[in-house]
Structure 1
Amino acid sequence: MVPAVKDSPDTPPIAAIGRVSALLDAFDGGNRLTLAQIARRTGLPRSSTHRMLDQLVRLQWLLRSGHEYELGTKLIELGHRAVHQNRVYRAAAPFLWDLHRATGMVVHLAILDGADVVYLEKVGGRMGLSIPTQVGSRQPAHCTGVGKAILAYRPLGRLEDLEEAELTRKTNYSITDSAELRVALSEIRTRGVAFDREECAPGFGCVAAPVGPIDEPVAAVSVCGPVDRLPFDNRLAAPVRITALQIWRNLDDAAVGRSGPRQRARQRTVGTNAADHLPTCHKPAR
């Protein structure tokens, strides 16, 4: 049995879990941190921070090198399990490599979490190394193709919640005005795909499509690459939309299979009528 992370005798278990969560969240930049840096980022007392760090090192949730700490092997294992147990990932996995091979571009699968997107998968070979995304990382949803693809089909109330927060600027092309964002999302609903033209990372763009019901998408899939090599037209929109529809059908069929045969009307999905008739992808010129 894994020993609990110790705190003071008077600390309720939920409070202790909250402290550990805050401590782990401090490692958000990919760099090692010292005790002083962790205490400053979390606002926790230095003595209790040091005590929790020692416990987490023993549990292999953290690694210590000299006076610095970094995320440990146990978290790598848990993160890997979490992704591969995710039902959206399992439904999408058979189709992501096909989309990469058909387009020659980096493929992302992402879900919405609050105002951010979290990447569940990234397929891309050498080109993928130059795009600053990784499995498990976050980006502001309004700055990404996958994020905008999901936001465009979410209920209006969800968008209003997002607009109450400040829209982060990632590049000079990021949308930071709520009115401009609404116009962009309306255009996405009209054409069925979202474009990111250097809004998240300079020099790169994406073409993305939502996965799921038209009023409540569960994820989005995209192809990304150098913006000067991306045709922002049907050459990429078609295969991305078809892949999104394949993922949703696979996910939907798996859900039906788990619950047994039942009478139901298939929910209308983004691209249901159009994607079946879209032309085959042609690999973009290099």
Structure 2
Amino acid sequence: MSTGLDECAPVGGIDRADLILTAFDGFGRLTLSQISRRTGVPRSSVHRMLDRLVALRWVRRDGLHYQLGLRLVELGMLAVQQDRLHAAALPFLRELRRATGSTVHLAVLDGADVVYLERLEGVGAGEIATRVGGRRPAAPTSVGKVLLANVIGVGSVVGSLGVRQELAAVRQRGVAFDRGEALPHVGCVGAPVGVRGDVVGAVSVCGPLELMAVNDRIVNLVQQTGQQIHHALTRQPATGLAAGVGRR
């Protein structure tokens, strides 16, 4: 049965890699010849591309047969988890913005950077140079401090004694602060989404330092939001942020 792959003319390395990976749709294992026929790519080109994909763990080789590799499984699971995280978080992020008036972020850790999955604009948002899909060095940001302290663990973080002590304090109190460290004149309060050993992201509120009120109410709201999102992900009952805001 035709897959339609032969109708797609590859125009570059990425296109050919996509054709090769798509060739496995519905097939657990394929030979070099089968992949060449299904993609319309010459055998020599397929062979070179497969060698590279095997080296990158996108494809596995078993004798004369090839199959999708574990790296694709890892990336697929990451995409699913991040999509679930964003979907679970969005209503609580909206409520947090309403309750604080500040710009709200949802972020995850990627190596030494944070990647923003969501940004809801609040007062002074024009001064906050972040965007959905954007990344920043994790260490100076409130969400990054939370993730470094809880995901990696203080003991394995490379940095000065002062950095390790700060992350230890973040881990202990469950909240992190950024007072113009990541962006000049911008203050943030961040908290984890999850608990120790199961932190899947971080949430923060940010605003201009001169307008940003950092008090127990703000800290509690950010922490509650992280807890709410985690409970939504794990489908466990939790007290509502909206109810809590109404009594403050």
Whether 1:88 aligns to 2:94 is no
Cα distance in 1 for partners of 2:207, 2:246 equals 16
Q: Distance in 2 between matches of 1:96 and 1:130?
A: 20
Aligned to 2:17: none
List per-residue Cα deviations over 1:170-220 (Å, max 9, x = no partner). Answer: xxxxxxx52111111122123221001111100101001000131231000
Q: Match of 1:132, SS? A: coil
C-alpha displacement of 1:135: 0.3
Shift of 1:14: 6.1
Any idea what SS the aligned residue of 1:218 has? strand
2:116 alignment counterpart: 119
Change (3 A) 1:229 1:83: farther
CA deviation profile, 1:229-271 (whole Å, cap 9, x unmatched): 2233312101001111110000111xx8xxxxxxxxx9xxxxx
Q: Tell me the TM-score normalized by structure 2.
A: 0.65
Say yes or no: does 1:4 pair with 2:10.
yes
Larger Rg: 2
Q: CA deviation at 1:227?
A: 1.2
5 Å-filtered alignment, 1:74-153, equals 86-125=83-122, 127-153=124-150
Distance (whole Å) between structure 1 residues aligned to residue 194 and residue 9 of structure 2: 41
In structure 1, which of residues 223, 231, 241 is the aligned counterpart of residue 213 of structure 2?
231
1:190 to 168, 172, 177: 172
Inter-partner Cα distance in structure 2 for 1:282 and 1:143:
33
State the distance in 2 between where 1:282 and 1:105 align. Answer: 19
The count of aligned residue pairs is 188
Alignment of 1:159-178 (within 5 A): 160=156, 162-163=157-158, 177-178=159-160
Residue 220 of structure 1: which of 182, 186, 202 is its match?
A: 202
Pick closer, same or farther for the CA change 1:148–1:6 going to 2, 3 Å. Answer: same
CA–CA distance in structure 2, aligned partners of residues 249 and 212 of structure 1? 8
Over 3 Å counting, the alpha-carbon distance change for 1:125 and 1:106 in structure 2 is closer
Seen in structure 2, the aligned counterparts of structure 1 residues 126 and 14 have a Cα distance that, compared at 3 Å, is: farther
Q: Report runs of 4+ in structure 1 exceeding 4 Å deviation.
A: 82-85, 279-283
Distance 1:17 1:126, change over 3 A: farther
SS of the residue 2:195 aligns to: coil
Using the alignment, how far apart are the partners of 2:228 and 2:171 within structure 1?
19
Using a 3 Å threshold, how does the CA distance of structure 1 residues 17 and 183 change in structure 2: closer, same or farther?
same
Pairing partner for 1:211 from 175, 184, 193: 193
Change over 3 Å in CA distance of 1:204–1:88 after alignment to 2: same
Aligned in 2, Cα 1:282/1:15: closer, same or farther, shift over 3 Å? farther
Q: Residue in 2 aligned with 1:263?
A: none
Distance in 2, Cα, partners of 1:125 & 1:236: 14
Deviation at 1:16, TM superposition (A): 8.0
Q: 1:13-61 CA deviation, whole Å, 9 max, x = no partner?
A: 464899xxxxxxxxxxxxxxxxxxxxxxxxxxxxxxxxxxxxxxxxxxx
Give 3-state SS (helix, strand or coil) of 2:150's partner: coil
Higher strand share: 2
**Cα-Cα RMSD:** 3.5
1:211, 1:119 → 2: CA distance? 14
Alignment-derived partner of residue 162 in structure 2:
180
**CA contact under 8 A between 2:191 and 2:222: conserved in structure 1?**
yes
Fraction of identical pairs, as percent: 42
Q: Deviations over 1:120-160 (max 9, x none)?
A: 0000156323210000011111111001111222353x862
TM-score scaled by length of structure 1: 0.57
CA distance in structure 2 between the partners assigned to 1:103 and 1:227 by the alignment: 14
